């Protein structure tokens, strides 16, 4: 039998096990053996650690969160630092991975991960290792795909939190600040804020000021609403441009974000003398079972990855381009982040609902005029129009 390998790298998220199951079941149909490498990329090099995968030990994992293979975003493999900085892997590491692939007789290696993990996969491809990328990130920040699995589950978790905070905020006339994940982009904050009835949404893509946030709170009080829900992405910059960080665990790793929710809550309480509380949702967004949407998307990603291996189309990343599952070169997929467009339909809809993004209300129009669509008419239609 032919054989393929799979690993899960980076932060965990709901849907990883659905991808693994999709790969194994699809591979069996094409008479492939499967092995899963443990602890992400670390499992590829000495000591090599892997687990034979089959329909028996992957049965029942479709609705389970996390990953049965384990994951890591630390260790010897690190290809990104910050937003754009790329780090070249050591040639000896790449050679060690190639030896593992050859010794196990792998026809292809499926790497499931986010921007940083896929940057590693791209270096594998350039080194001659047969690799396929599967996008995974709750931040939904990969530009080549409309959605990544894990995002919908994270938004559902944040929305549920807002639903719960709404009742206690209304009961005590409080200002509640919910900090959600989103290192460089505000997709979770935006979608959860709209779905959960947020009043203020603060994201990295839209500069904001405390004055405008406070004015929104006071406007609500004037209208008889003595509570306010504020959603803030962990990567939203403060008005002075700074990020709120915890600590850098290692020079080769990205700084750990977190704490902006408490900063926002403390500043609002100091300015307005209102009862203000902060809830940091944290890793609750990564845990638990995947939503129906994420189960279907992740399963399709796994099945399509096997097809690409079978046809020898390496160096590709699976992508979702509704309604089709497609693929693009990994290099193209990790070339830039997919960020929230401040003029997008979702942002405009939020503004139309009265949601504030903490920017100047005079310059933030709820409905920006849509750009005119230019359509070139076929020559025969133009000819008929002149008759």
Residue 265 in any domain: the answer is yes
Taking a C-beta distance cutoff of 8 angstroms, is the pair 151, 190 a contact? no
Residue 364 in any domain: the answer is no
Residues 133 and 167 in one domain: no
Residues 134 and 23 in one domain: yes
CATH of the domain at 305: 3.40.50.450
Average pLDDT over residues 272-297: 95
Residues 162 and 176 in one domain: yes
For 286-340, the pLDDT digits (tens) are: 999 999 999 999 999 999 999 999 999 999 999 999 999 999 999 999 888 899 9
Residue 62 in any domain: the answer is yes
Residues 345 and 199 in one domain: yes
Out of 139, 141, 152, 294, the active site residue is 139
Structural domain span for residue 347: 154-286+340-352
Residue 111 in any domain: the answer is yes
Residues 215 and 304 in one domain: no
- Burial of 18-53, coded b for 16+ CB within 10 Å and e otherwise, reads bbbbbbbbbbbeeebbbbbbbbbbbbbbeebebeeb
Question: Does 57 have pLDDT greater than 90?
Answer: yes
* Spatial distance between the Cα atoms of 244 and 258, rounded to a whole number of angstroms: 6
Question: Does 76 have pLDDT greater than 70?
Answer: yes
DSSP-assigned beta bridge partners for residue 329: 316
> What pLDDT is stored for residue 255 in this prediction?
73
Residue 66 in any domain: the answer is yes
Which of 60-74, 146-160, 210-224, 300-314 is predicted with the least confidence, judged by mean pLDDT?
60-74
Residues 230 and 188 in one domain: yes
Average pLDDT over residues 132-136: 96
Question: Does 257 have pLDDT greater than 90?
Answer: no
For 362-386, the pLDDT digits (tens) are: 555 555 555 444 444 444 333 433 3
Average pLDDT over residues 100-119: 94
40: left (phi over 0), alpha (psi -120 to 50) or beta: left
Residues 104 and 116 in one domain: yes
CA angle 141, 143, 145 (to 5 degrees): 95
> Would you state the structure tokens that stand for residue 43, as one six-digit string?
């499992």
Residues 186 and 115 in one domain: no
> What pLDDT is stored for residue 361 in this prediction?
65
Residues 173 and 216 in one domain: yes
- Write a three-state SS string for 258-304: CCHHHHHHHHHHHHHCCCEEEEECHHHHCCCCCCHHHHHHHHHHHHH
Residue 74 in any domain: the answer is yes
Average pLDDT over residues 4-11: 94
> What pLDDT is stored for residue 77 in this prediction?
80
* Spatial distance between the Cα atoms of 290 and 153, rounded to a whole number of angstroms: 6
> What pLDDT is stored for residue 256 in this prediction?
76
Residue 358 in any domain: the answer is no
Tell which wins on pLDDT, 255 or 113: 113
Taking a C-beta distance cutoff of 8 angstroms, is the pair 158, 281 a contact? yes
CATH of the domain at 214: 3.40.50.460
> What pLDDT is stored for residue 111 in this prediction?
97
Residues 215 and 346 in one domain: yes
> What pLDDT is stored for residue 56 in this prediction?
93
139 is catalytic: yes
Helix axes 292-310, 16-29, angle to 10 degrees: 40
Residue 371 in any domain: the answer is no
Residues 216 and 265 in one domain: yes
243 pLDDT band (50/70/90 cuts)? confident
* Spatial distance between the Cα atoms of 275 and 310, rounded to a whole number of angstroms: 60
Average pLDDT over residues 81-101: 80
Residues 134 and 248 in one domain: no
Domain count, the chain: 2
> What pLDDT is stored for residue 11 in this prediction?
87
- Burial of 235-256, coded b for 16+ CB within 10 Å and e otherwise, reads bbbbeeeebbeeeeeeeeebee
């Amino acid at each position: 039998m032919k054989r393929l390998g799979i690993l899960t790298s980076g932060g965990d998220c709901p849907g990883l096990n659905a991808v693994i199951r999709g790969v194994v079941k699809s591979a069996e149909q094409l008479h492939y053996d499967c092995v899963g490498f443990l602890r992400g990329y670390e499992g590829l090099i000495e000591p090599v650690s892997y687990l034979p995968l089959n329909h028996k030990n992957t049965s029942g994992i479709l609705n389970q969160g996390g990953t049965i293979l384990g994951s890591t975003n630390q260790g010897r493999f690190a290809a990104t630092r910050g937003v754009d900085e790329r780090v070249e892997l050591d040639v000896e590491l790449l050679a060690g991975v190639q030896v593992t692939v050859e010794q196990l007789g792998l026809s292809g290696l499926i790497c499931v991960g986010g921007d940083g993990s896929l940057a590693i996969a791209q270096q594998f491809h350039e080194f001659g290792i047969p690799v396929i990328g599967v996008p995974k990130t709750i931040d939904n920040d990969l530009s080549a795909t409309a959605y990544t699995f894990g995002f919908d589950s994270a938004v559902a978790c944040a929305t549920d939190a807002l639903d719960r905070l709404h009742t206690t905020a209304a009961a005590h006339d409080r200002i509640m600040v919910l900090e959600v994940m989103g290192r460089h982009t505000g997709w979770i904050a935006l979608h959860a804020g709209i779905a959960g009835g947020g009043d203020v949404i603060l994201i990295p893509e839209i500069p904001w000021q405390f004055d405008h946030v406070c004015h929104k709170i006071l406007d609500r009080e004037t209208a008889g609403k003595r509570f306010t829900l504020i959603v803030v992405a962990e990567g939203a910059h403060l008005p002075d441009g700074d990020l709120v960080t915890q600590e850098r665990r290692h020079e080769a790793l990205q700084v750990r974000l977190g704490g902006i929710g408490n900063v926002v809550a403390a500043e609002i309480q100091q300015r307005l003398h209102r009862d203000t509380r902060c809830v940091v949702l944290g890793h609750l967004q990564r845990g638990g079972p995947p939503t129906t949407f994420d189960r279907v998307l992740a399963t399709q990603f796994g099945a399509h990855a096997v097809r690409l291996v079978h046809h020898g189309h390496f160096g590709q990343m699976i992508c979702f381009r509704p309604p089709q599952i497609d693929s693009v070169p990994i290099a193209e997929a990790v070339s830039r982040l997919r960020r929230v467009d401040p003029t997008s339909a979702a942002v405009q809809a939020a503004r139309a609902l009265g949601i504030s993004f903490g920017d100047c209300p005079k310059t933030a129009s709820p409905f920006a005029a849509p750009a005119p669509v230019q359509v070139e008419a076929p020559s025969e239609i133009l000819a008929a129009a002149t008759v």
